[in-house]
Amino acid sequence: MFWTVYTIISILILLISFIYLFFKNKYSYFEDQGIPHIKPKFPLGNLQGIGSKFHLSDITRQVYEKFKHEAKIVGFYNFVQPIYLVTDIETVKVITVKDFNNFVNRGFFVNEENEPLSGHLFALEDDRWRFLRNKLSPVFTSGKLKLMFHTISKLGDKFITKVEEKSKISSFDLKDAASRYTVDIISTVAFGMESNTLNYEHQELIDVFSEFNGPPDSRKMFTFFFMMAFPKLAKALKLRQFSKKVSDFFTNVVGGNIKYREDNDDNRSDFLNMLIQLKNKGSIDGEISTESKKLTLNEVLAQAILFFLAGSDTSSSAICFTLTELAFNQDVQDKLRLEIMEKIKNTNWELTYENLHEMNYLNQIINETLRMYTQGVMVLRKAKEDFQVPDSNIVIKKGSSVWIPTLAFHFDDRFWENPTKFDPERFTQEEIAKRPSFCYFPFGEGPRNCIGMRFGLVNAKFGVASIIKNFKVTPDARMKHPIVMNPKVPHLEPKDGFWLNFEKI
Ligand code: HEM
């Protein structure tokens, strides 16, 4: 008996000592290299309070602000994973552009053997990424987007009708209608599925979308950071980017539509059609391709799901945050309405692809929204080799992750006067010329930036312009300003929704 108790106590002491030494060793990483950092705490490192009290962007911004005058790069612990957090614009340029080849990867969790749909452009690495980026770039040219504009415009009319119906009853949270609008756009162009979720059809699509994007759940947040910090363990545990339900749904719907189109020779001008061409011929009609290799069916499915997930929430959030700021800034809203009316008077009061691009003030407004509320709160990169940061004694070690905290740069008073103020005048050509480059990057930077930027901007601009053309937007009493963000999700989302009033003009 004595020996059993003695053995258990000894094992416990050994185990605790091992855990203590393991964490002590891990948490001395930046100390040993003389890189400034905030002392990490067991077991989350510097993620204390994430998902409950703080959003990731608040936590990284605190560290950034504390050290931005003394170092180009500071240390940050994601659990025990050491992260190099960038605080200097020259270093942003070096990592995303000048030395891109050393930072081509994001270090995002991918496990194609166990989960083929995880092999999408956002997660893939090195030559697999280069191959796909080359193949997919022609999908997003402005000529191709112009062909898809009629879908955006047709669905925009339904969006306005829905907003009008709802506003007759009371004020409402715009996010649901805006999400359905962008889900309908992307499902039409990326899957060939006319989902009509705005009119409450195909609820299963909204269900899978919600499963991925919400409802807020801090467990999902932890899994996400865990997969980034421990990719090998995550692979061994067969963790997945998408649940089985989400994967099965997309495989069936998109796979079915591909088969239907192939069997019926159905050639529409949309993303899915171009993906099918890449699968069957290795190139898109009218585009020259230096690489003849074709895409596999799984590769096509993975990209379609990525377009859907990367494209719908980002665009609908841009619409909602912009309209909320316009509700609180009536002078800006009035000025925008005047611009819209002026630009559409010669096109029978219709918004067109061309006149949307002539609306400079609208462009300034969307840019300012994306400064304050970009969905890509962090640009992620991973070092392939040891990298000496120019003009410093810092070496980023091979295999380490680098985080560029977008919102910290977007609110840095070294570049923006009164950064918490919504002020579209910051984006006139004169003001842009006064600022240094690489302090504003809502779509990321360099060759690995957002491939869907143009498409996202057209969606957001069309959504905002069609609402402002038709309604005066004011805030409901429930709408808090400054907007309080939900700490439980990795992107930006208000804690209590976008409560707005819409008065028909
Ligand atoms: C307002 C809308 C959008 C915002 C703010 C946004 C933001 C971003 C950001 C910050 C990145 C990471 C860039 C980097 O690491 O340098 C990214 C990547 C990406 N985005 Fe977007 N995005 C938007 C819309 C879209 C749309 C509409 C699509 C597709 C239909 C899309 C597809 C992608 C893809 C595929 C990547 C990965 C690119 C690669 O790794 O090569 N995005 N986006």
In this structure, are 361 and 334 located in the same domain? yes
pLDDT, position 218: 62
**In which band, very low, low, confident or very high, does the pLDDT at 326 lie, cut at 50, 70 and 90?**
very high
Digit-coded pLDDT (tens) for 364-376: 999 999 999 999 8
- More confident position, 287 or 331: 331
Average pLDDT in the chain: 92
Co-location of 140 and 7 in the same domain: no
Q: What is the Cα–Cα distance from 381 to 396, expressed in whole angstroms?
A: 11
- 53 and 28 assigned to the same domain: no
CA of 498 to the centre of ligand 1 (A): 23
Residue 91 burial by Cβ neighbours in a 10 Å radius (0-12, 13-18, 19+)? buried
- pLDDT tens digits along 93-123: 999 999 999 999 999 888 888 899 999 999 9
Is 260 a member of any domain?
Answer: yes
Please tell me the predicted confidence (pLDDT) of residue 217: 62
Dist. CA 312–CA 449, nearest whole Å: 17
Question: Is position 247 within any domain?
Answer: yes
| Ligand 1 lined by 405 (C-beta under 6 Å) | no
Name which residue sits closest to atom 18 of ligand 1, judged by CA: 450
310 C-alpha to center of ligand 1: Å?
6
Residue 355 and residue 234 share a domain: yes
442 ligand 1 Cβ < 6 A: yes
Q: Is the pLDDT of residue 488 over 90?
A: no
Query: How far is Cα 88 from Cα 200, in angstroms, rounded to an integer?
Result: 47
Please report whether residue 300 resides in a domain.
yes
* Cβ of 310 less than 6 Å from ligand 1: yes
Burial of 189 (0-12, 13-18, 19+ CB in 10 A): buried
Q: Is residue 41 part of a domain?
A: no
Is 291 found in the same domain as 179?
A: yes
Q: Please give the number of the atom of ligand 1 that sits closest to the Cα of 379.
A: 15
**Are 5 and 143 within one domain?**
no
Q: What's the CA-to-centroid distance between 300 and ligand 1, angstroms?
A: 17
Is residue 362 in some structural domain?
yes
Do 68 and 14 lie in a common domain? no
Residues 420-468 have pLDDT tens digits of 999 999 999 999 999 999 999 999 999 999 999 999 999 999 999 999 9
Binding site membership of 451 for ligand 1 (Cβ less than 6 Å):
yes
> 9 pLDDT exceeds 80?
yes
Instruction: Give domain status of residue 77, yes or no.
Output: yes
Question: How many domains would you assign to the chain?
Answer: 2
What is the atom index within ligand 1 of the atom nearest the CA of 96? 16
**122 close to ligand 1 (CB < 6 Angstrom):** yes
Q: Residue 268: pLDDT band by 50, 70, 90 thresholds?
A: confident
Q: Return d(Cα 341, Cα 339) in angstroms, integer.
A: 6
- Rounded mean pLDDT of 206-228? 72
- Domain match, 12 and 89 both: no
Same domain? For 363 and 495 the reply is yes
Angstrom distance (rounded) from CA 271 to CA 275: 6
Q: Is 155 in the pocket of ligand 1 (CB under 6 A)?
A: no
Mutate to test the pocket of ligand 1, among 450, 459, 493 (most ligand atoms within 8 A of CB): 450
Q: Ligand 1: distance of its center to the CA of 8 in Å? A: 53
CA distance 109 to 101: 20
Percentage of residues in the chain having pLDDT higher than 70? 98
Instruction: Confirm or reject: Cβ of 376 under 6 Å from ligand 1.
Output: yes
* Interval 110-165: pLDDT, tens: 888 889 999 999 999 999 999 999 989 988 888 889 988 999 999 999 999 999 99
Distance CA 270, CA 118 (A): 23
314 CA to middle of ligand 1, Å? 8
129 CA: nearest ligand 1 atom: 41
pLDDT reported for residue 491 = 87
Residue 39: inside a domain: no
Q: Is the pLDDT of residue 317 over 90?
A: yes
Q: Is the CB of 445 under 6 A from ligand 1?
A: yes
Are 370 and 227 members of one domain? Answer: yes
pLDDT digits (tens, 9 = 90+) for 235-254: 888 888 888 888 898 899 89
The atom number, within ligand 1, closest to the CA of 308 reads 30
CA–CA distance from 159 to each of 113, 167, 217, 343 (Å)?
Answer: 40, 12, 28, 21
Judge whether 360 lies within some domain.
Answer: yes
- Is there a single domain that holds both residue 406 and residue 271? yes
In a shared domain, residues 25 and 165: no
pLDDT at 288: 77
450 Cβ inside 6 Å of ligand 1: yes
In the predicted model, is pLDDT for residue 211 greater than 80? no
pLDDT digits 0-9 by tens, 57-78: 999 999 999 999 999 999 999 9
The verdict on the CB of residue 374 being under 6 Å from ligand 1 is yes
pLDDT for 228 equals: 79
Cβ–ligand 1 contact at 463 (below 6 Å): no
Domain that holds residue 124: 47-504
pLDDT in tens, 21-50: 988 999 999 999 999 999 999 888 998 888
The CATH number given to whatever domain includes residue 55 is: 1.10.630.10
